[in-house]
Amino acid sequence: MTEHIDHTLRGSWTTTTGSIPPHALKWLRARTGLAAGRADDLVDTRADDRAETGGPGSAESALSEAAHAALDAVVGPGYVRVDRDSRAGRAGGLSYVDLLRQRGAGDPAVPDAVVLPASPEQVTDVLKACVEHDVAVVPFGGGTSVVGGVNALRGDKAAVIALDLHRLDKLVSVDPVSRLAVLQAGLTAPRADQLLAAHGLTVGHVPQSYERATIGGFAATRSAGQASSGYGRFEDMVEGLRLATPVGEWRLGRAPASAAGPDLKQLVVGSEGAFGVITEVTLRVRPRPEVERYEGFVVDGWARGSALVRELAQRRVLADVTRLSDVDETEVSLALAGGWKTDALKAYLRARGVRQPCLLVLGWHGADQAEVKRRRAETLRGVKAVSLGTALGEAWRHGRFNGPRQRDALLDIGVCVETLETATHWSTVSELRSAVREALVDALGECVVMCHISHAYETGASLYFTVLAARDAADPIGQWQVAKAAASEAIAGLGTISHHHAVGTDHAPYLEAEIGGLGLDVLASVKRTLDPTGVLNPGKLIAGDFTPAGLASPGDR
């Protein structure tokens, strides 16, 4: 049984103007050692750099006239762009390091041109032109990668383009009987849901990157959304794919299930643009829910909270959204929002034996109130938790996409703020959490390390970490790279190097430890077959040289 106290919570990390409110700034200084009055030490550097060099994208494009003309012939005049703003706008993703580089700490990798095809056929022809003119190709959707997945690396090529897919923005077809929809890869998640809503349908995929990320990007990175407990991970939704490669087009997916050899769709899903460019995705879709209910609960301690989520997963009664925060993340979520300032709430929890509050957010979707009520009862049967009511749950739902804006505000005041994620089996969830926390604290010193479970399975769960520390003004990029390496080493052997952020460049050095040398040989063989000259997304997924000679054959490493 859950015990209930409904308390309306207000406030957040940032004000409506994007600044950090005084109570949050005071807390940050106390917990991270952030100096009083600290402002963004990169602002002046950024201004000086732009005055002297023109900033990112100001260097002359290395795209040859012949390559430019060949690409123009494919996509049409005006859709091969070499101006500074277009190129700088596709210079990296949205990781902490990417944002530091955009602010003047280091040089972002800037593409030599931005190419905007309008159809799957044009994408294939662009790839052929790039092979002919020795140009590397970085597929670019919403640009939300946080692991270097869209960095404009050219490898050994003469130039590199960002292949921006946003003109591939159509809902191609809907099969309401089979509940299938074919969507082009450049559709953003909100636009895809808007188009499907006209048919009473939804994808049901809502990651924090929802506002910007694209359908093709979700497939290319094996994305997981906040409602994955109810709707599944993105790879679970993929029924078919259309892939453009330098050696031709490849279509996959003919039936809901098949024993015709290994599932090659899953070889493409998660391939991060290294094997080809996803141009269309056939997705399993669901009826749009008419009712959504979100609630907040408090459980005493991480051990009890994670055991509760495991029980729900193994009883197969998870809510569509199931998110458990540890003590530190709960403090941030509630103390900075003003929740713990209410004496009645603190006294209520203490009276019920809650000494280490861990926040649990549950959300149910359904066709009507009766369905949601039934599913809620199934989830909460036998659960021992203190309910904080729907106000907290709704506050989380309405603020769940605020992370990027909050991070910008934290960067402005000199905070090192970044995330990383992993997953493991239930028997090692707490061990992995402790190992990563210890590695980050050892590397960063005075800092706050928060963790939550947002994706749960019968056999295990994801762990998502957020780190706050005072930024090292002398070497801000190096500060985080040392910490990320320490965390990655702690993860190796205990969990996966990435649950849903993908591999990119950041995780490529750790991939062999997870899939083995033979696994890397398999990926390299696929790469050689689909991309024999190595133009596709150099340096991503598989670490090392992507030239034909550099892609070692099995046993050659």
pLDDT at 555 over 80: no
> What is the per-residue pLDDT across 213-252, written as a single tens digit (0 to 9) for each?
999 999 999 999 999 999 999 999 999 999 999 999 999 9
Which CATH number applies to 2-32+290-399: 3.30.70.360, 3.40.50.2300, 2.40.180.10, 3.40.462.40?
A: 3.40.462.40
pLDDT of residue 18: 59
What Å distances lie between residue 433 and 46, 185, 189, 439, 461, CA to CA? 36, 35, 31, 10, 11
Arithmetic mean of pLDDT, 443-463: 97
Q: Alpha-carbon distance 542 to 537, whole Å? A: 10
Task: Report residue 199's pLDDT band, with 50, 70 and 90 as the boundaries.
Answer: very high
Tokens standing for residue 150: 């869209």
In this prediction, what percent of the chain has a pLDDT beyond 70?
Answer: 89
- 8 Å CB contact between 336 and 267: no
In this prediction, what percent of the chain has a pLDDT beyond 90?
Answer: 78
pLDDT of residue 332: 84
pLDDT of residue 9: 36
Task: Report residue 546's pLDDT band, with 50, 70 and 90 as the boundaries.
Answer: very low
- 8 Å CB contact between 117 and 123: yes
Q: Alpha-carbon distance 482 to 418, whole Å? A: 13
pTM (2 d.p.): 0.91
CATH code, 56-164: 3.30.43.10
Tokens standing for residue 227: 């409602």
On the 0-12 / 13-18 / 19+ scale of CB atoms within 10 A, 255 is exposed
> What are 173-178's contacts with CB under 8 Å, separation 24+?
174/199, 174/201, 174/285, 176/201
pLDDT at 467 over 50: yes
Arithmetic mean of pLDDT, 19-48: 70
pLDDT at 209 over 60: yes
Q: Alpha-carbon distance 96 to 146, whole Å? A: 8
What Å distances lie between residue 473 and 41, 439, 462, CA to CA? 7, 21, 32
**Across 14-18, 30-34, 72-76, 390-394, least confident range:** 14-18
> What is the per-residue pLDDT across 266-313, written as a single tens digit (0 to 9) for each?
999 999 999 999 999 999 999 999 999 999 999 999 999 999 999 999
Domain covering 405-491 assigned CATH 2.40.30.20 in the classification:
no
**Which has the higher per-residue pLDDT, 168 or 392?**
168
Task: Report residue 2's pLDDT band, with 50, 70 and 90 as the boundaries.
Answer: low
pLDDT of residue 411: 93
pLDDT of residue 522: 96
Strand order in the sheet with 277-284: 171-175, 180-184, 277-284, 238-245, 248-252
pLDDT of residue 495: 97
> What is the per-residue pLDDT across 362-408, written as a single tens digit (0 to 9) for each?
999 999 999 999 999 999 999 999 998 998 899 889 888 887 778 88
Fold designation for 171-287: 3.30.465
pLDDT at 554 over 70: no
Q: Do domains 2-32+290-399 and 56-164 have the same CATH topology?
A: no
pLDDT at 54 over 60: no
Q: Give every CB contact of residue 372 below 8 A, 6+ residues apart in sequence.
A: 291, 292, 293, 364, 365, 366
369: left (phi over 0), alpha (psi -120 to 50) or beta: alpha
> What is the per-residue pLDDT across 103-161, written as a single tens digit (0 to 9) for each?
999 899 999 999 999 999 999 999 999 999 999 999 999 999 999 999 999 999 999 99
Task: Report residue 337's pLDDT band, with 50, 70 and 90 as the boundaries.
Answer: low
- 8 Å CB contact between 234 and 285: no
**Distance of alpha carbon 514 from its chain centroid, rounded?**
20
Arithmetic mean of pLDDT, 180-188: 98
pLDDT of residue 20: 79
Give the pairing type, strands 80-81 and 113-115. antiparallel
Count Cβ neighbours within 10 Å for each residue of 115-131 and write b for 16 or more, e otherwise.
bbbbebebbbbbbbbbb
* Domain definitions of the chain by residue range: 2-32+290-399, 56-164, 171-287, 405-491, 507-557
Strand, helix or coil at 34?
coil
